[in-house]
Amino acid sequence: MSTFSEDEKRKRIRSYFAKPKLKWPSVLIVLGLLLLSQSSIGLILLIAGGIWLFIEVKPLFDAPGDQAIDAWLIDDIEQIKKRSLERLNIDESELIRDSIVIRGPILWATNGIPNDELVWKKGKDERVRFSINAITIVYLTEHRLSSYQCTYNFMRGVPLNEQDDEFHYRDVVAVSNRESSTNYTLPNGELMKQAQLFKLAVASGDSIEVIVNSAELVKFTDGTIVETGLDNAVKALRKVLSEKKM
């Protein structure tokens, strides 16, 4: 994987999520076969349909496997960590434990994301990967909790809608994993009314929230959502907060 240039890597990631449009090429091929014995138009339609079909399915030939996609996303998150530390002006030596990463799927209209890039794929392992992910990274230092959030376009390797926050431990009032009402429209036009949410709330009313799963999203994609880091995040944060508030 490391032998690929950045451009080639993104090209292969896009090929992984590619969804070939086979309807119209297939229509041309069928028409061409029906007319083949009657006129030269049939041959032209058959050739045109075949070329169109090849163009549609060609990206699938270069598509990487599920494990490669998972590894590339992990690599990308490591780069996002470096970027977030710089934004938050934190030196790694200040951290009292490893960073906490929470990842959530995005499959609804989002600022800065073209609708045709809101795609997903169910792998051979029945787990669903998403081209657009909500990435939250939490850093714990001696006296404060810092967070970085972004909408990550995996196909382009670009973080968008970046936001960072800092809170004193004493101001954190809750860390929770809960079901919450939502109002997002999935690509099939159906409303996602409920979602599993990670939430960190502070006394001022501010909060960090990440949608990590949804029964309606699972039903739509017909697969399971990959590891989000939610359980580890909640346990780790509660442990540190209990120690800091003693």
What average pLDDT does this structure show over 208-224? 93
Euclidean distance between the first and final Cα of the chain, in Å?
47
Q: Scanning the structure block, which residue is given the tokens 């030939």?
A: 61
Going by their DSSP bridges, the two strands 100-105 and 132-140 should be labelled as antiparallel
Range scoring the smallest mean pLDDT among 82-86, 106-110, 152-156, 228-232: 228-232
Binned at pLDDT 50, 70 and 90, residue 1 comes out as very low
Paired tokens of 97: 């434990």
168, amino acid identity? H
Could you tell me which residue, 50 or 130, shows the higher pLDDT? Answer: 130
12, amino acid identity? R
* The Cα angle at residue 202 between residues 167 and 176, in degrees rounded to 5: 110
CA-based nearest residue to 166, from 139, 186, 185, 203: 139
For residues 210 and 149, what is the distance between their CA atoms, to the nearest angstrom? 9
User: 82: helix, coil or strand?
Assistant: helix
* The Cα angle at residue 15 between residues 11 and 18, in degrees rounded to 5: 135
What average pLDDT does this structure show over 239-244? 86
The tens digit of pLDDT for each residue in 164-192 reads: 999 999 999 999 988 999 999 999 999 99
Rg (CA), the chain: 23
The tens digit of pLDDT for each residue in 28-76 reads: 677 767 777 777 887 887 777 667 666 766 766 677 899 999 999 999 9
For residues 156 and 178, what is the distance between their CA atoms, to the nearest angstrom? 31
pTM score: 0.84
Q: Is 79 exposed, middle or buried (0-12, 13-18, 19+ CB in 10 A)?
A: exposed
Spatial CB neighbours of 211, under 8 Å, sequence gap ≥ 6: 104, 105, 106, 134, 182, 195, 196, 197
Could you tell me which residue, 21 or 229, shows the higher pLDDT? Answer: 229
Residue 83: predicted pLDDT = 97
Residue 27 pLDDT exceeds 70: no
For residues 189 and 125, what is the distance between their CA atoms, to the nearest angstrom? 27
Could you tell me which residue, 226 or 81, shows the higher pLDDT? Answer: 81
